[in-house]
Amino acid sequence: MTSNAPLFDPVAIGAFEAPNRIFMAPLTRSRSEAKTNEQTGLHALYYAQRAGAGLIVSEATQISQQGQGYAWTPGIFTEDQVESWKPVTDAVHNAGGRIFCQLWHVGAISHPVFQPDGGKPVSASAWTPEGEAFVGDRHADGPQVPFEEARALRTDEIPSLIEDYRHAARCAAEAGFDGVEVHCANNYLIDQFIRSATNCRSDEYGGSLENRLRLMREIVAAVCEELPADRVGVRLSPQGGPGGTEDENPGETYPAAAKALAGRGLAYLHVIRPNSHTGQGKDEGGDAIVKDMRAAFDGPFIANGNFSPEEAAQWIAEGHADAVTFGRLFLANPDLPERIAQDGPYNEPDEDTFYGGGAEGYTDYSSLEKVDDPLPA
């Protein structure tokens, strides 16, 4: 365990102390109820199995019906959805864990089948993402269909959007979450306002970098009016994400976004570096931007992006991050901290069961305890 020792130091994250720095990344698994976007007992088991994480960040959870972009993903905006999350948060807490709810609006990365009254998805500006929408069984042409053009949000619609985030934060607290993470990453709605390629607006939410960051600032401020700031985190990603767009100057844009979040007393900033899972290979330029973001932010800093345990420990030891979130490793290894403590072995994730389905590839990955149990005589 010597090389990985920094991962096992406690760390203060906002309102609580995490017992280790091995955090669980938000992972879309598409197993919620199809018509209601509610959670089930299977979700409670899945998250409780992984409660050894210093912090769990939930799968991305839509703040409104307009915010949905994938089949079978959860919501946090109706009373029934709130009730369905309570057994999940209870299970995590009973297992000694902590869990934040990631608040999500996909923006253009959607399809009319998910939208109220079959309308167009919304974004910073009108554009059509590259690729296909995962619509599951909602469309006659198949589970994946081409994206359609999104429309620009009107300026007079933005206050109600901000209220949706505010309402979702209240719902998350009622559901028993320890805090929330505002999803401003991966080219979803807030990131579509941040990125120069998707924001062509001429109002106060477009044009200059300061204006492109305005929606993020206002949403985070609204959420912090509903929850103490030390129970609010934010996620950003300088590169990568669905839809096929980039910012023309991420080295300027994303450190500025990190700086805009400083001074608020937030629980943390969570940043994704370029990596093979987001369509970009790991590169030194991308790591440099992440480290600049670390320098620009004044609170706990969480890094993500295809880290090995050894590299994560090195980043923490060198002061580049206070904790690291693991995605696929945690997906396949519910007892990941214990495995890292003894340098493995690690289960391999089954990509065929990542999205949709039931217990297979979700709650049936073995733990070390199960692996070590002798076979019945």
Q: Is 70 a catalytic residue?
A: no
CB 109 within 8 A of CB 242: yes
> Collapsing DSSP states into helix, strand and coil, what is residue 138?
coil
- 166's enclosing H/E stretch is helix 158-174
Contacts of 14 (CB under 8 A, 6+ apart): 179, 229, 230, 231, 232, 233, 266, 267, 268, 300
- Distance in angstroms (rounded) separating the CA atoms of residues 251 and 256: 9
Query: What is the Cα–Cα distance from 297 to 317, expressed in whole angstroms?
Result: 18
Catalytic one among 46, 188, 355, 362?
Answer: 188
Cα–chain-centroid distance for residue 37? 17
Side-chain half-sphere of 30: how many Cα atoms within 13 Å? 15
| 3-state SS record for 296-352 | HCCCCEEEECCCCHHHHHHHHHCCCCCEEEECHHHHHCCCHHHHHHCCCCCCCCCHH
Q: β-pairing, 268-272 with 11-13? A: unpaired
**What count of other Cβ atoms lies within 10 Å of the Cβ of residue 349?**
17
Plot region of 142 (φ>0 → left; ψ -120 to 50 → alpha; else → beta): left
Q: Which amino acid is at 78?
A: T
Answer whether 29's CB lies under 8 Å from 43's CB.
no
- 177 Cβ contact partners less than 8 Å away, ≥ 6 residues apart: 58, 85, 89, 99, 100, 101
Among all residues, which ones are annotated catalytic?
188
